[in-house]
Amino acid sequence: MSKMQAPQDGQAMQRPLSGLKVVEFTHMVMGPAIGMILADMGADVTKVEPPGGDNTRRLGGSGAGYFAMYNRNKQSVCADLKSQAGRAAVRRLVNGADVVIENFRAGAMDEAGFGYAALAAQNPRLIYCSAKGFLAGPYDSRVALDEVAQMMGGLAFMTGLPGKPMRAGASVIDVTGAMFGVIGILGALQERQRTGRGQHVCSSLFETTAFLVGQHMAQQAVTGTPAPPMTLRSSAWGVYDIFETREGDPVFVGIVSDTQWRKFCEAFALVDFSGDRSLDRNEGRVRQRPRVLGALVPLFRSFGKQELMGRLEACGLPFAPVSRPEDLFDDPHLNAGGGLVPVTLPSGQQVRLPALPIAMDGRRFGVYRDLPRAGEHSRAALLSAGLSGEAVDALQAEQAVGAQR
């Protein structure tokens, strides 16, 4: 029985951001991920989409999962911000909001009449979060993507082989940049408690990448030698490698302390190693890596995958099977601990996708509002914002005519 409570639906769970009103003008990953994190934690997030819906809904290939992953627990309002009626309707939503999120190109929101200065003039308590490619500086008007930031921020160099930079295998900069955006929003909310005023918060892809590779910058400063790509790194530990098991399946094993080394030698009956004082300390094992690995490679290959992992787990050593993303659907830990939450795709298929990796007092955050259809909540949200039924009908009729052109 898991000690964690599984994500809960409905109103049974009091979420920490309940009552916070958020209006989101976003697409792709970074902006929607900010809104999803806030929504999962209970904020009332309204996603404003163009008539017909955010183009992210229709992406294929490696972008096919973006909308499904980052837009649960939100309401959808479709409005044409190029029309006067559409802008006026959405302005009503914004005037009652605590937070606005946007991640469009520099200047786009100002051109539409929804920049920070214009909105804050009507709603001084508004916290306005811009998720951008760059913070202030010579690059701040450039268009950026996750991959652009990884390339120019040094992460692709660290991930790839020499001369062959490679982006990381997930949108790590978009998602981490979103997390920093949420941190900024929460900080601004706390400051608003003291000052009564909102502010403009910015998070960015390039600076997020620089922060992530900061450890390698510090490595160069400390050692005087630039960090090589991780594919050629000089390991800090004697055993920190991927090994093949009897079936040919790869398993990562790390031994990162002298205590772990002693436990390892005992668990695997490595008498020659346990009695060799030159291997007692990590520095000695690093110096003798070829000798150590020369013995461990055939040793681990003599075990089946499950048998090896069972023995490593029993003696408390770091280990991991080398999994694929699709393997996580059936991961027993994720399924037992509320790590996957149900989401219904537009096709009607129900899948289980990762929950927020947070527990508060043992509680996990789940899905209380499924993925929205484009414009699903337009009428209810605009009526709640103070538009009359006639005004909402006129706006939707106008959008329908525009869609037919």
DSSP state of 356: P
83, 86, 90, 119, 301 from 112: Cα distances, Å: 10, 11, 11, 11, 62
Please report which confidence band the pLDDT of residue 11 belongs to, taking 50, 70 and 90 as the band edges: very low
pTM, entire model: 0.94
If we measure between CA atoms, which residue out of 298, 301, 311 comes closest to residue 264? 311
- Average pLDDT of the chain is 95
| pLDDT for residue 174 | 98
Domains of the chain: 21-213+337-404 (3.40.50.10540), 235-325 (3.30.1540.10)
Flag the least confident range among 2-11, 131-140, 180-189: 2-11
If we measure between CA atoms, which residue out of 305, 304, 315 comes closest to residue 267? 315
Condensed to tens digits (0 to 9), the pLDDT of residues 71-106 reads: 999 999 999 999 999 999 999 999 999 999 999 999
How far is 15 from 36, CA to CA, in rounded Å?
A: 14
- Report whether 296 contacts 239 (CB < 8 A): yes
Residue 2 has pLDDT above 50, yes or no: no
- Report whether 249 contacts 319 (CB < 8 A): no
Pairing of strands 99-102, 74-78: unpaired
State the alpha helices, DSSP H only, in 196-319.
Answer: 205-212, 214-223, 258-267, 271-274, 282-287, 289-301, 305-314
Planar angle of CA 162, 253, 354, nearest 5 degrees: 85
Q: How many CA atoms are closer than 13 Å to the CA of 30, on its beta-carbon side?
A: 29
Which DSSP helix (H) or strand (E) runs through 24? Answer: strand 21-25
| DSSP 3-state percent helix, strand, coil across the chain (nearest 5) | 45, 15, 40
Condensed to tens digits (0 to 9), the pLDDT of residues 274-331 reads: 999 999 999 999 999 999 999 999 999 999 999 999 999 999 999 999 999 999 999 9
